[in-house]
Structure 1
Amino acid sequence: MTDGAVSESSTAADRARRFVREMVEPLAEKIDREQHFPGQLVTALGEQGWLGAALPARWGGGGLDPVDFGPVLEEFGWGCASARTLLTVHNMAAQAVLRYGNEEQKRRHLPGLASGRSIIAFALTEPDVGSDANAIGTSAVEDAGGYVLSGEKIWCSFGCIANLFLVFASCNGKPLALILERDSPGLKIERMTDVFGTRGSELARLHLDAVRVPTENRIGAPNAGIRFVANTALDHGRFSVACGTVGIIRACLDTCTAYAARRQQGGVPISQHQLVRRILTDGLVAYTTARALCDRAARLRAAGDPRAAAETALAKYHSAEAAIRVANDAVALLGANGCSSEFPVSRYLRDATVSGIIEGTREIHQISLASYALQKPWTNA
């Protein structure tokens, strides 16, 4: 990762903070309003190494471990949830290729993904298939030397600009993961607009009409599509969303504390009113606990601890729920101004709400985390 204007002793979070404040946050409102992620920002993210920050140096990446990558994601979440989404989907698909791709697939794809010359999108969800990924309807029919894909994918973040897609299909009842190239005949990409939050995430609907994919583009074993490839990607995605959502909480606190200090009611700044102080206190607690959970998950991930996936889900669930509460409080604190596009808190609320849905809804996490609770993980804390 290069940043000639920053000393080599700067941490990745320091570099991310500077990049986000200079390049990302000033564009956040425009990205949200126009529902478009600018190409020059995609280029800058690649050139500055952020798209490959968590990939190994062997493949041209920054080699950041989860402990260092987490605060980077927080900075991007603070500045623009759509930018954080690009880092999320690109990295989760790239990590799946890193773990389950063969050497030839890694040589072919990872250097481009690390540099940002290639963007990869994650194509799992379908119009009638969401949380139950095993019910996937897209079919892959074996053909001479490959597969023929037919079906439809939806909510494909950055699918409008991706060069590659990690697509999941069913072949003879077995889940399959394939890398699909953008220029494949039979692939139609339809832009999705007017969504609630992360409006600059270049959402796409993919129409697959007898799209042929060669066997060498299969990632992992024929039956490994969901249990291994998709779940690995989603695990990385949950970590990214958790850390990025901590950034949304911090952004709400920044806005609320500044507003409460200057806004006056009854002859005093509203920061002196008890109910406003309650909002600020709750926001501080939410940020501190969410960040601590993300840091714990990051350390367990870096250590390869078997609890890491569950603790990552715990961090994601808590951070998203906390961000929704804090952002809702932020809108209330600003009153009518909180409903205006002149202030960012309404965007924070919409983006936080999306974070509670993607990479596992709150209800799915409530089910899985209850199972984790029954294991009494606190006895091994």
Structure 2
Amino acid sequence: MDDRPPASVMARAEAFAADLAPRAAEFDRAERLPRDVVEQMADAGFLGARVPVEWGGLGLSPLEYGELTEVIGKACASTRALLTVHTSLVAETLADRASRRIREKYLPDLASGRRIACFALSEAEAGSDAAAMSTRYLQKGDTFVLDGHKKWISFAGIADVFLVFAADNGVVSAFLVDREMPGVEIRPMSGMLGNRATHMAEVVLSAVEVPAENLVCGIGSGFAFVANSALSRGRYSIAWAGVALAQAALEEMCTYAARREQFGSRIGSFQLVQKMIADAVTEVSAARELCRKAGRMRAERSPEAIAATNIAKYFSSTVACRVTSDAVQVLGGNGCWNGYPAERLFREAKILEIIEGTSQVQQTMISDFGLTTFARKG
């Protein structure tokens, strides 16, 4: 079975990535993703990769989407992040969970890239403990009034639509908020370790009136039904992002080790360097296979798909950290300088152990799965 996306999609992705990779360092320094890159992704259909064809998307399978994510993520982590946020966390979630009315109103524009979406869950005091959010909503006739302050929201700086989570006495609900609604304020953030070009911002909501039709999945469905579903999709995308960064770092260290000479020999002939390369080759291959397994299980809607996704995300993100660290080590002083990609890959990899659920959160969930699944009964 061919797990790759249709040839035309892959051809567009590989051509796009080839042009993208030389610009990644520039985006990182400027802390912004140029509009032309977003437009190219939209024109190629990538922003609607997982949106069904009936709503204007490409309708790619999870495996096909993973392949696409790796190709783009290897070229530029911030560009790949737009896929994770806009496509996985928001568009795919709406396609699966939202009412037909919401899908008709938003999905064609999201799939085509005419409008950009972001996922507004995190707050200054509510990260992994998303249930502790302080953003509030109050029903007022046929509208909901939202007040709160979201933080660390990728692409909020350029987004047209926000999938916002708010609570009313502990009852969490999800809403689609348009940027032009009165009371929406965007405060750009900078100085991030990685994902610097993702237009990260704080989103301040001050008595924002949202029509009742923009409530996603009904009152009380925000956390268990919408956020958890979206985060699982995001984790799958992040798992492939880890493979992408680790593969890019592997290529950097192998290329450098094959050329760099010390003590009269190329450093690729030194056994301790060979060990780092061998470990990287093995771990990248293993991470990719875990992602493929998760993709197949998601396509089959297996009851163990969520656990497989958590395992893939946890392993892939830790592999990305180890391999990018070894790449810096192999490059030595050059690995610590932004004249080479290794230092940027190293910074980007650490982000993956934090977003969409920290490694520690993944370990807890994987442990729970293990205790439930593998403990002998009786």
Instruction: Indicate the TM-score class for this superposition, using the shorter chain for normalisation.
Output: over 0.9
1:89 match: secondary structure: helix
Would you say the 8 A contact 1:51–1:115 is kept in 2?
yes
Would you say the 8 A contact 1:13–1:68 is kept in 2?
no
Match of 1:45 among 29, 34, 41: 41
Alpha carbons of 1:378 and 1:270: their partners in 2 closer, same or farther (altered >3 Å)? farther
Would you say the 8 A contact 1:12–1:69 is kept in 2?
no
What TM-score results when the alignment is normalised by the length of structure 1? 0.95
1:97 positional shift: 1.2
Match of 2:71 in 1: 75
Alpha carbons of 1:325 and 1:222: their partners in 2 closer, same or farther (altered >3 Å)? same
Is 1:315 matched up with 2:320? no
User: How do 1:125-164 residues align onto structure 2 when only pairs under 5 Å count?
Assistant: 125-164=122-161
Is 1:285 matched up with 2:285? no
1:18 positional shift: 2.2
Would you say the 8 A contact 2:195–2:351 is kept in 1?
yes
Would you say the 8 A contact 1:16–1:75 is kept in 2?
yes
1:144 positional shift: 1.8
1:140 match: secondary structure: strand
Would you say the 8 A contact 2:82–2:198 is kept in 1?
yes
Q: Deviations over 1:355-375 (max 9, x none)?
A: 110000011011110011113
1:47 positional shift: 0.6
Give me the whole-angstrom Cα distance separating, in 2, the residues matched to 1:375 and 1:149.
39
Match of 2:172 in 1: 175
1:139 positional shift: 0.4
> Aligned AA for 2:111?
A
Q: Show structure 2 runs of 5+ residues with no match.
A: none
1:17 positional shift: 2.0
Alpha carbons of 1:374 and 1:102: their partners in 2 closer, same or farther (altered >3 Å)? same
Give me the whole-angstrom Cα distance separating, in 2, the residues matched to 1:315 and 1:218.
32
Match of 2:340 in 1: 343
Match of 1:204 in 2: 201
Give me the whole-angstrom Cα distance separating, in 2, the residues matched to 1:93 and 1:297.
20
Is 1:257 matched up with 2:257? no
Give me the whole-angstrom Cα distance separating, in 2, the residues matched to 1:95 and 1:137.
26
Would you say the 8 A contact 2:116–2:160 is kept in 1?
yes
Match of 1:3 in 2: none
Match of 1:107 among 99, 104, 108: 104
1:172 positional shift: 3.7
Give me the whole-angstrom Cα distance separating, in 1, the residues matched to 2:6 and 2:162.
36
1:340 positional shift: 0.6
1:14 positional shift: 4.2
Match of 2:24 among 20, 24, 28: 28
Alpha carbons of 1:357 and 1:9: their partners in 2 closer, same or farther (altered >3 Å)? closer
The total of aligned residue pairs comes to 371
1:377 positional shift: 6.0
Would you say the 8 A contact 2:52–2:95 is kept in 1?
no
Give me the whole-angstrom Cα distance separating, in 1, the residues matched to 2:186 and 2:177.
12
Sequence identity (%): 40
Is 1:220 matched up with 2:217? yes
1:324 positional shift: 0.2
User: How do 1:301-312 residues align onto structure 2 when only pairs under 5 Å count?
Assistant: 301-312=298-309
2:7 match: secondary structure: coil
Would you say the 8 A contact 1:142–1:171 is kept in 2?
no
1:51 match: secondary structure: helix
Give me the whole-angstrom Cα distance separating, in 2, the residues matched to 1:378 and 1:68.
34
1:11 positional shift: 5.9
Match of 2:233 in 1: 236
Give me the whole-angstrom Cα distance separating, in 1, the residues matched to 2:53 and 2:201.
31
Q: Deviations over 1:225-263 (max 9, x none)?
A: 000101111011000010011010110011111100000
Would you say the 8 A contact 2:12–2:44 is kept in 1?
no
1:175 match: secondary structure: strand
Match of 1:4 in 2: none
1:10 positional shift: 1.6
> Aligned AA for 2:188?
R
Give me the whole-angstrom Cα distance separating, in 1, the residues matched to 2:75 and 2:239.
15
